[in-house]
Chain A
Amino acid sequence: MVYPLIDVFIYSFEEGYNSASQTSFGTGLYNYSYVLHDPYFLQALKNTLILVAITVPVSTVLSLLISLGLNKITKLKELFQTVYFLPYVTNTLAVGLVFMILFKKTAYTDGMINLLITAFGGKSVDFIEGPYWAKMMVLCIYTIWIVMPFKVLVLTSSLASVNPIYYSAARVDGTSNTRIFFRITLPMISPMIFYLVITGFIGAFKAYSDAVALFGTNLNVAEMNTIVGYVYDMLYGDSGGYPSYASAAAIILFSIVLTITVINLLVRNKSKR
């Protein structure tokens, strides 16, 4: 049952494993040291960390604001909810192409977003093949666009399930709106927010297909690879055929995610007391 896990552990310690002849010359930590010294891996690690640090807080706060707004209105609420949910049912790879042409500069046109930027007096940038920060920004925007539907859906239903008696009581006491939000709403839905933060962290650490959608399959050249992308590239593709390196990288990713989740749980338990 836990065979895959053990198997990957074994792969990750086998040095020079060759998938064709199924031989290896010994065991050790070499694979880990190789991966940790590989500039591509370090680049992927950096990209993933930036992506996590930006998208998780931004998407959580944004979805909270949107859900609060949705909960305040009655007319058109269903229409808004339906529209907001659309990105969930789309194919990440396909819609990524739309984002690419919106942000891309070609010989014919600067692209929609750049025209907007210049219209507001900014300077146009090639977001797809240009500087690092521009590429990172598109990736973050696209990732947020993709993850919002789930968060909005979950938060809206959890906001709606807060017992209205609390609000009535607070209003009778003349509590201000900000105070109601921080003293009633937030504590009541904090388990859900916490759940979203954890799944958000895990999801963002595993980002991969959004990057492929925007920058193509050769992510190492685009400097936009993620850890998961590195694992798959090592497994298969132009630079593939190294299941040992892939396993080592996957185990490193797993330990990072596990550590962050444990830290999250500890923080949560502490704030509970």
Chain B
Amino acid sequence: MNTGHEYEEIEKQAKVKDILGKTVTYFLLSLWGVIVLFPFYWMVLTSVKSYSSYNAEAIPKFYATNPTFQNYIDAFTTVSLGKYLLNTAVFTIVTTLIMLIVTVFSAYAFARLSFKGKNIVFVLFLALMMIPNELVIITNFVTITNLDLRNSFPGLILPSVASVFYIYLLKENFEAVPDNLYYAAKVDGTSDLKYLFKVMIPIARPTIVTIVILKVIECWNSYVWPRLITDDANYFLVSNGIQEIRENGFGRDNIPAMMAAVVAISLPLIVLFLVFRKTVMTGVSRGGTKG
């Protein structure tokens, strides 16, 4: 009898401890959640406050008394935010498409075709991954300047269409496809190209989707290269655009309009992420680097 009672007591204690632990965990996790979300909340909130009410609040309010969309209208009319967004969209789509074609074909070549010196070329390729980006950028900068491609889309796009890491990722994927499939296709008289499109690409689809997502994020947020290569505002991407807006956009203190521009820039990727949440997160944990 006595032991049974003791057992109950211990179990009860363990339960209390468990609940306490869970509560603390949830509290701390929520705290970090608030830290992460607060800047986003603040940016949306500020963007719907009117200029006068924002500046009248010595202690900022956590809600907007008279929400207004005037700032968004300002952001698209007084500065060329629309142009920056369009430029970035064009840049992102074209770069991703060309990169995809380059990556698929080179991965296929490395995985399936055998040509002389294939292994040497591939090792050299991997060695490229070791070279830090900063060194490559200096050479690229000099090259592109000498080719007279500054302030042009080819100059922006060309250096980022080939990615060794993605080729490597896809090649591994292609190599996992059994050789027998290839021979069977050959016996049936399928051409290499048809085999690539009908068999390899559908099989490697998850990897390809991963690559596309990572590249889109990278393109949308790229700052360093576009800044070096463009000084004509007609070719600015959003990162440079927002910097330009900050430094000589709407008068220095029109922060609500600035925040409206920030929201407009951040929204596309956030929506994309929320829609493809699972794919993006698996993709990044497989091949992402940032931080």
A positions within 8 Å CB-CB of B: 1-5, 7-8, 11, 19, 59, 65-66, 69-70, 72-73, 76, 80-95, 97-99, 101-102, 106-110, 112, 115, 145-151, 153-154, 157, 199-200, 203, 206, 208-209, 212, 216-217, 228, 231-232, 235-236, 243, 246-247, 250-251, 253-254, 257
- Report the Cα distance A98→B39, complex, angstroms: 6
Contact B266 A81 (CB under 8 A): no
A-B contact pairs, 15 of them (CB 8 A): A2-B131, A5-B131, A11-B138, A87-B36, A89-B270, A90-B266, A91-B238, A92-B239, A94-B265, A98-B40, A108-B57, A108-B253, A203-B290, A209-B224, A243-B142
**Total A-B Cβ pairs within 8 A:** 212
From B29, B140, B242, contact of A93 by CB (8 A): B242
Supplied contacts A4-B139, A8-B139, A69-B28, 14 more A-B pairs, CB within 8 Å: A1-B127, A3-B139, A85-B280, A90-B221, A92-B221, A102-B42, A148-B36, A199-B289, A203-B289, A209-B239, A216-B246, A217-B247, A232-B137, A243-B142
User: Known: A84-B36, A206-B134. Contact between A108 and B139, CB under 8 A?
Assistant: no
- Report the Cα distance A206→B134, complex, angstroms: 8
Which of A59, A91, A151 counts the most B-chain CB atoms under 10 A from its CB?
A91
B37 within 8 A of A: yes
Q: Which residues of chain A have C-beta atoms less than 8 A from B220's C-beta? A: 91
Contact B33 A89 (CB under 8 A): no
Shortest beta-carbon distance from A89 to chain B in Å: 4
From B37, B139, B253, B289, contact of A83 by CB (8 A): B37
From A7, A84, A208, A254, contact of B33 by CB (8 A): A84
Q: Which residues of chain A have C-beta atoms less than 8 A from B228's C-beta? A: 232, 235-236
Q: Which residues of chain B have C-beta atoms less than 8 A from A216's C-beta? A: 243, 246-247
B158 within 8 A of A: no
How many B residues have CB within 8 A of the partner chain?
74
Contact B289 A94 (CB under 8 A): no
Of B91-99, B100-108, B170-178, B254-262, the stretch lying at the interface with chain A is B254-262
Contact B141 A147 (CB under 8 A): no
B136 within 8 A of A: yes
From B25, B140, B274, B277, contact of A69 by CB (8 A): B25
Contact A88 B142 (CB under 8 A): no
- Report the Cα distance A150→B283, complex, angstroms: 11
Shortest beta-carbon distance from B113 to chain A in Å: 19
Contact B134 A250 (CB under 8 A): yes
From B22, B26, B290, contact of A88 by CB (8 A): B290
Q: Which residues of chain B have C-beta atoms less than 8 A from A149's C-beta? A: 291
B169 within 8 A of A: no
Sort A-B residue pairs by CB-CB distance and give the 5 closest, nearest first. A147-B291, A4-B139, A1-B124, A93-B239, A89-B273
Contact B289 A115 (CB under 8 A): no
Closest to A158 in B: B285
Q: Which residues of chain A have C-beta atoms less than 8 A from B291's C-beta? A: 59, 146-151, 199-200, 203
Q: Which residues of chain B have C-beta atoms less than 8 A from A217's C-beta? A: 243, 247
Q: Which residues of chain A have C-beta atoms less than 8 A from B22's C-beta? A: 72-73
Contact B138 A235 (CB under 8 A): yes
From A69, A82, A109, contact of B58 by CB (8 A): A109
Q: Which residues of chain A have C-beta atoms less than 8 A from B239's C-beta? A: 91-94, 209
User: Known: A89-B269, A235-B228. Contact between A112 and B60, CB under 8 A?
Assistant: yes
Contact B36 A83 (CB under 8 A): yes
- Report the Cα distance A203→B136, complex, angstroms: 16
Contact A91 B265 (CB under 8 A): yes
Q: Which residues of chain A have C-beta atoms less than 8 A from B246's C-beta? A: 97, 216
